[in-house]
Amino acid sequence: MALSLKITLVTALLLLTACRSDPIQFHTLMPTQLGTQSRAGAAEIQIEGISVPPQVDRPQIVIRQGNSGLAILETEWWAASLVDELRSAMVDQLLNTNPQRKLSVRLDVQRFDSIPGQYALIDVKWRLRNLGESDATLLTCRSTLQTPSGPSIDELVVAHQNNVKRLAAAISQAAGGASRGCPSSQ
């Protein structure tokens, strides 16, 4: 009887360890920044709204597989919803590049592709208003940004961080009004 109880306990223990899942890894679009600029001053960044495609509007990171497939990574998650991650990262980047401006931005993400070992891509329509100007100039543009990525999810997230930084730079360039138009898509 004692032997069958030991065998049952050992079997139960083995089954429990076999059912253990991998820990969830959390990722953010907010890059680690060394020596960020001072944010004192009159900067004000309003994000009017952000929309993302429903396929990627989830806490898990979604990657492309093959020509037509998607994979939802059950152990690789955004630290917040993708919309909130984009909002935080854009505000951070715009404050770093526009220390004295008052801006209002709306982002309508058309594509947010993640292909490990190949690239991260964001295709976004954006609307900008310079709130500091008397006429609150309105400008509507589109940017398609693609950054090469290594095979790991960490490298893919860093590529997306780079895309967000480049998008903020394009918005800042437009807000500066040097060309009074949309920057060329990069």
Read off the pLDDT band of 135 (50, 70, 90): low
Q: Specify the CATH class of 26-31+40-176 in words.
A: alpha beta
pLDDT at 39: 53
Neighbours of 81 (CB within 10 A): 14
Tell me the mean pLDDT in the region 39-60.
86
Residue ranges covered by each domain of the chain: 26-31+40-176
Residue 55 clears pLDDT 90, i.e. is over it: yes
Residue 148 clears pLDDT 60, i.e. is over it: yes
141: its two tokens: 């543009």
Residue 126 clears pLDDT 70, i.e. is over it: yes
Tell me the mean pLDDT in the region 120-143.
86
Q: 107-111: long-range contacts (C-beta < 8 A, 24 or more apart)? A: 107/47, 107/49, 107/50, 107/51, 108/50, 108/51, 109/50, 109/51, 109/52, 109/53, 110/53, 110/142, 111/53
Q: What does the mean pLDDT of the chain come to?
A: 86
Residue 51 clears pLDDT 90, i.e. is over it: yes
Taking a C-beta distance cutoff of 8 angstroms, is the pair 81, 27 a contact? no
Residue 94 clears pLDDT 70, i.e. is over it: yes
pLDDT at 52: 97
Read off the pLDDT band of 167 (50, 70, 90): very high
Q: How many angstroms separate the CA atoms of 77 and 60, rounded?
A: 4
Read off the pLDDT band of 35 (50, 70, 90): very low
pLDDT at 130: 80
pLDDT at 134: 60
Neighbours of 25 (CB within 10 A): 13
For the whole model, what pTM was predicted?
0.82
Neighbours of 96 (CB within 10 A): 18
